[in-house]
Structures are given as structure tokens and as C-alpha cells.
Chain A
Amino acid sequence: MSNLNDLDVTQQQLARALRNQLRATETVDPATSARLALLRQQALSTPRRFGRTWLSSIDGLAIAAVLMVLGIVLPQQLPQFSSGQAGDSTHQETVEVLTEEPEPEFYQDLDMLQWLAHESDARV
């Protein structure tokens, strides 16, 4: 019986008496007993996890290796990853051109620009 010395004397007496009463209840009817025995047999026949810690470390190493390969190879294979700043600046310029309000002189010279475009197309 486990040590009950951390309890005072009256609590020890009560605890022991209650334990005896509860242990006396640990009987079940034959049908339940048979079901418990069946469940026990099923539990004992289930495959067990051997060396789970070893497998976990291998899994972790594999995941780390894949992540490392992705981190090294991908930036070299895909140029937009390696030249991220240049890509960002180009994108920024495009946005600026599209959102910029044109000056009034631009509309005044529109005919001239159309003529120049027509001339260049004709030469080609």
C-alpha cells in the first residue's frame, strides 16, 4: 500500500478505510468481465510502436534536409528570388507610370506623337 505519511493520522485512517471500501467494489458481472478480457486481448494484439524516438529523429532530419535543399536550390533556379530588389524596383516604376497624372503638354503634343508613330511604322 502506498505511503500515506503525508496525511495526518485521522486522514490516514479515513483514506485507508475508503481505499478498502473502493477496492472491494472492483468486481464486475461475468458479461462485463468477458468484454474486458476481449478488449484486453485486442489491446495486446495491436502492433506496438518500436523505436519511435529513432524514427522521429530520422523524420526530422529528412524534413530539415528537404527544407535546406529548397532554401539553397530554389533561389538559384528562380532568378526573381535571387534578384528580388531589382524586381521590386521595376515593379515600383511600372506602378508609378500607371498611376502618374500626365502633364497638359502631353495632350497638346498628342497629334505630333501619333504622327511620329505612324512615320516609324511606315518605315518599318
Chain B
Amino acid sequence: MPPPQTIATALADTAEHSCSAPLSLGAFLASSEKRAYRRALLATRHTDDALDIVQDAMMQLSRRYAQRPSGEWPMLFARIVTNGIRDWHRRQTLRRKLFFWLPAEPEDDNDPAPFEQVADPHAAEGLQHLANGQLLQQLQTSLAQLPARQREAFELRIWEGLDVHDTAVAMGCSQGSVKTHLSRALHRLRADLQGYWP
């Protein structure tokens, strides 16, 4: 088993797994779980719900797709997480319709905003760090306000680093639709983050 530093370096970019040597499923999950958790937390704003989504995704990948080539795992795992988030939203919508008289479930007070705990070791001190924090908060707000399909396209294509084909497979739509959703998402994010970009 390679040392942790080697694994971390090898798995720095999940989407590049297909070009690297075969990996164990455990190493792949270890490299992908935090990103999946962040995505789920951004969508749900609840620690336990986010962990549930990640757990289900890990179980499904391990149970159903462990024998598939390791190069397919990033796309499969991203798709499972995306479907889990989508199902969570559906359940929440149904719950709101069935129990409309109940007050809305409060966000997890114990958990900070998804990007609040950022500990970027490469971030500069002082104003730059503050600017990054504000940018991330704004980015979080803007991502949450994107239409679901645009957010999925952005997360899979940009955050996960999947190519257009894999993103289309993960989203269950055409490659043209992926490009359209992503273009609209970037256009809107650029407008929302105008103060932070030249």
C-alpha cells in the first residue's frame, strides 16, 4: 500500500484517474469523499443529510460498481451523488407538500456554512484571505440559487472535473444540453461574482 502522501498526490484531481494506474476502491473513495460531502452539504445544509447522501453513494459504488474499471468510478460516483442530492430535494418538496402546516426544518446550527471552514493552506494572509472568504460565501449563495440542472452541470463539469461526455452521462442528457446549462451557469456566476473578478 502506498504512503498517504503518494495517494493524495495521485488523487489530487479525481477526473484524471482514468489516465493513471488502477486504484483500489478504498483509495478512490478516500480521495473523493470530502468533495462529495461538500457538494451534499452545499445542497442540503445539514450535516447528517449530507453524510447520508455520501454513505449511500459509497455503498452503491462499492456494491454495484466495484468490478468496473477504476477509470469509470469518478463519473459513476459523481452521478450517484448527484442522484442522491436530487432525491433529497424531491423528498423535501414532497415533505413540504404533505406537511405544509409544519414549520420549515431549521438548518443545522452546529454546522457552519459549507464553505465557512475553509482552511486553504495556500491562501495568503490578511486581506487576500478575507477576500477569499467573502468570495466563497458569495459563491456558495450563488450556487445555491442556480437552477438545479445548471448547478449540476457546473458541479460535475467544473468542480468534479468530468468531461462533457461523462457529465452528459451523469446528468442523463445530451452533450449539447450540458454545454448550454454550463454556459448559463457560468454567465450567471460571473454576474453574481462581478466584484471579485476583473
Contacts and interface: CB of A to CB of B under 8 A. Distances in A.
Interface stretch (A15-23, A74-82, A110-118): A15-23
B186 A46 contact: no
Interface residues of B, number: 50
A25 B118 contact: yes
Contact of A39 (B55, B117, B197): B55
Interface stretch (B57-65, B85-93, B94-102, B144-152): B57-65
A74 to B, nearest CB: 38
Nearest to A15: B158
B136 A21 contact: yes
Given A15-B158, A26-B38, A28-B117, A43 B58 contact: yes
Contacts of B161: 1-2, 19
Given A18-B139, A36-B33, A24 B123 contact: yes
Contact of B47 (A2, A7, A11, A32): A32
Interface of B: 13, 15-16, 25-26, 29-30, 33-35, 37-38, 47, 51, 54-55, 58-59, 61-64, 66-67, 114-115, 117-120, 122-123, 132, 135-136, 139, 157-159, 161-164, 179, 182-183, 186, 189-190, 197
Interface stretch (A47-55, A57-65, A87-95, A96-104): A47-55
Nearest to A3: B163
Given A18-B189, A40-B58, A2 B157 contact: yes
